[in-house]
Amino acid sequence: MSTTLQSTKTRRSYDDALIERFGSSRRSRFTRHVALCLIGLFMMYPLLWLLSSSLKPNGLIFSDLALWPAEWSPSNYADGWTALEYDFGVYFTNSIVIVVLSIVGNLFSCSLAAYGFARLHFTGRKLFFALMLGTMMLPGHVLLIPQYILFAKLGWLNTYYPLLVPNFLATNAFYIFLMVQFMRQLPQELDDAARIDGCGPFRTFWSIILPLCRPAFATTAIFTFISVWNEFFGPLLYLTDPELYTVPLALRQFVDSEGQSQWGQMFAMSVLSLAPIIGFFIAGQKYLVKGIATTGLK
Amino acid sequence: MSTETAVMPEADVPPAPEHQRLSAGRRRGRRARKDRAGYLFLLPWFIGMLFTVVPFFASLYLAFTDYNLLNPPKWIGLENFTAMFRDPVLVKSLKVTFVYTFVSVPLSLAAALGVAMILNKGIRALPVYRAVFYLPSLLGASVAVVLLWRYVFGLDGIVNALLGWFGAPAIAWTSDPDYALTTLIILHVWTFGSPMVIFLAGLRQIPVMYYEAAAVDGASRWRRFRSITLPLLSPIIFFNLIQSLIASFQTFTQGFVMNDGGGGPANSTLFYNLYLYQQGFNQFHMGYASAMAWTLLVIIAAFTALTFFSAKYWVNYDN
């Protein structure tokens, strides 16, 4: 990881070295900016169109192609909020509850497991670690049907348990792996010093290792947020009562409820459902980029 | 830089020196205490593994049974698997998934590598560009974006409007079986940002001096790409390839939301996992769905193994 996380300073000098050697001509640099801007515009356009359509009256969405609405209809937001059986406040609350508990669960269980794998020595550690990495590659659909039957037998259908409990049981090997990679970089001397001072493994974990792992936790929290917020399949499978619906399930109801073509309202709620992800992305971009770069490079 | 190290557990730290001075009994006690601490930390994970290992074998068993949730599973041997061969819808769903995977994965990886290389040439405002290209990959699997795609590619959507400017006729992107899957492939390519970030990080680890030395020796731009960038980046290409293949074989949400839970026009967007869901949770053919799940697992494992096997011909681990 350390090689990836070059400080801004070395990165800049790397850039400068490259610019000096290869990108020196002003014209080629200009061409590159133009190319990148075009690709970027192309990629952002659907999202900008979504935002603009959410502010247009229904009649104009498909006839007026300009991004800047000729006629504003901010009421899409107010109307969309209450368009479904329950108002979107219910769905947002549901989503937030699930996301927050999932983050807590992943941080708790994955950090424990990661500490065990990264810093403790016990019989069978290598075997278990290999098993853990194996589950990281295991396609989830293989477990789907027995898990569904199990949760049904436990009486957990139409509750949040199937979505939450696995997160408290470190079933997300990716986050364990991320934290293991991070903890391994911390000097072993820390643990030794703590032991000499009389700390047991739990105290060492809690007082020494955890506070140092904050960046890895931030990465885990943001990844969990984005994946759980977007999660569609689990809620679709386990939640049948509309009162329990998460935002993605609710959004889909806009098209389910026949083609009443309230596009403006649907787009308005789509914007609201994407806004938290974009917000977290902007706030936590650093951790996200580091996180996925780490998993790819190590 | 190699992915190989990723799966290799770190070697055990040599035992503390005082171990040698302890009696056998004391050593065993210490060992047991260490084991206990380790297992305690792993306790949630152990319980979680039960939720993985037991269903894993349970689904293998169910694959050989007829089971509808109401009556107990009935052993029927290989019947589910032979039925799969005769099921034209299943064959169709497999074809859809293969076409989707083998078109969209190479395209998105090529886009990811291409843009990463432009960004790596040393450019101002790199973080801004990176953010713009990365953001879609976080949104690509969300219901909101798939819904958006339906309308962007709708008959009077912006894509057809754009085509209209060039005098091209409007295309029924979402309702014409020849084009429905194309819209989802485009959606996949749109999310090239996450492999791009990984490529970018990998490119930054290639020492600039290699390029300098090659330039001094008169190597062309293409030659530098072929002989420096590609070999040194190959472990990362390999990693991205494996990741994308596994994820792409399991596509579900895009197909489901695009066509209201159905397979789209002439089942042209009926992904394998979508059909599995329909069999398992609409028809309650749990045995058949389990057989489907294992078949896909074997297919994914085969392609992963093939990629791993091919790695020794094109992936460079010298570094």
Q: Which residue of B has its CA nearest to A183?
A: B10
CA dihedral of B175, B177, B180, B185, whole degrees rounded to 10: -170
Q: Is B3 contained in some domain?
A: no
Average pLDDT for A1-12:
43
Q: Is B8 contained in some domain?
A: no
The angle formed by the CA atoms of residues B31, B34 and B35, to the nearest 5 degrees, is 85
Q: Between chains, do A35 and B157 touch, taking CB under 8 Å as contact?
A: no
B216 has a chain A CB within 8 A of its CB: no
- Res A14: pLDDT: 58
Q: Which residue of B has its CA nearest to A118?
A: B10
pLDDT digits (tens, 9 = 90+) for A236-254: 999 999 999 999 999 988 8
B251 to chain A, minimum CA–CA distance in Å?
Answer: 10
Helix or strand run (H / E) with residue A238: helix A233-238
- Res A260: pLDDT: 57
Chain A residues lying within 8 Å of B56, measured CB to CB? 138, 142-143, 146
- Out of A29, A43, A137, closest to residue B190 by CB: A43
pLDDT digits (tens, 9 = 90+) for B238-285: 989 998 999 999 999 999 998 888 888 889 999 999 999 999 999 999
pTM of the model: 0.87
Q: Which residue of A has its CA nearest to B46?
A: A169
Domain of B96 in residue numbering reads as 87-314
Residue type, B212: E
Average pLDDT for A19-45:
80
Give the residue with greater pLDDT, A127 vs A25: A127
**ipTM, two decimals:** 0.86
Q: Is B105 contained in some domain?
A: yes
DSSP state of A214: H
A37 to chain B, minimum CA–CA distance in Å?
Answer: 8
**Do residue B50 and residue B104 come from a single domain?**
no
Chain B residues lying within 8 Å of A43, measured CB to CB? 132-133, 136, 190
* Token reading at B265: 């026009």
Helix or strand run (H / E) with residue A50: helix A26-53
pLDDT digits (tens, 9 = 90+) for B282-315: 999 999 999 999 999 999 999 999 999 998 888 8
Average pLDDT for B188-197:
94
Q: How confident is the model at residue A20 (pLDDT cuts 50, 70, 90)?
A: low
List A residues 96-155 in contact with B (Cβ-Cβ < 8 A): 108-109, 112-113, 115-117, 120-123, 125-126, 128-133, 135, 137-150, 152
Q: Between chains, do A122 and B35 touch, taking CB under 8 Å as contact?
A: yes
- Res B126: pLDDT: 85
**Do residue B214 and residue B287 come from a single domain?**
yes
Beta strand residue intervals within chain B, DSSP E: 65-66, 74-75
Average pLDDT for B129-148:
92
Taking phi first (over 0 means left), then psi (-120 to 50 degrees means alpha), and beta for anything else, what does residue A156 get?
Answer: alpha
- Res B4: pLDDT: 37
Give CA–CA dist A40/A33, Å, rounded. 10
CATH number of the A88-257 domain: 1.10.3720.10
Q: Is B135 contained in some domain?
A: yes
pLDDT digits (tens, 9 = 90+) for B59-92: 999 999 999 988 899 999 999 999 999 999 999 9
Q: Between chains, do B56 and A142 touch, taking CB under 8 Å as contact?
A: yes
Judge contact between A160 and A241, C-beta under 8 A: no
Q: What are the b/e assignments for B235-265, b being 16+ CB within 10 Å?
A: bbbbbbbbbbbbebbbbbbbbbbbbeeebbb
B178 to chain A, minimum CA–CA distance in Å?
Answer: 23
B115 to chain A, minimum CA–CA distance in Å?
Answer: 8
Contacts of residue B217, defined as CB under 8 A and 6 or more positions apart, other chains included, come to none
Domain edge (last residue) among B81, B109, B132: B81
B202 to chain A, minimum CA–CA distance in Å?
Answer: 7
**Do residue B111 and residue B69 come from a single domain?**
no
List B residues 137-176 in contact with A (Cβ-Cβ < 8 A): 138-139, 141-145, 147-152, 154, 156-158, 161
**Do residue B296 and residue B235 come from a single domain?**
yes
Domain count, chain B: 2
pLDDT digits (tens, 9 = 90+) for A255-279: 765 555 678 899 999 999 999 999 9
Give CA–CA dist B172/B156, Å, rounded. 9
CATH of the domain at B261: 1.10.3720.10
DSSP state of B65: E
Q: What are phi and psi of B65, to 5 degrees?
A: -130, 165
The bridge status of strand B65-66 relative to strand B74-75 is antiparallel
Q: Is B279 contained in some domain?
A: yes
State yes or no: pLDDT of B10 exceeds 60: no
Q: Is B11 contained in some domain?
A: no
- Res A168: pLDDT: 97
- Res A6: pLDDT: 42
pLDDT digits (tens, 9 = 90+) for B84-126: 999 999 999 999 999 999 999 999 999 999 999 999 887 778 8
B145 to chain A, minimum CA–CA distance in Å?
Answer: 8
* Token reading at B21: 């001075």
Q: Is B140 contained in some domain?
A: yes
CA B12 to chain centre: 32
List B residues 109-128 in contact with A (Cβ-Cβ < 8 A): 115, 118-123, 126-127
Q: Which residue of A has its CA nearest to B15?
A: A121
Average pLDDT, chain A: 86
Average pLDDT, chain B: 88
- Res A226: pLDDT: 92
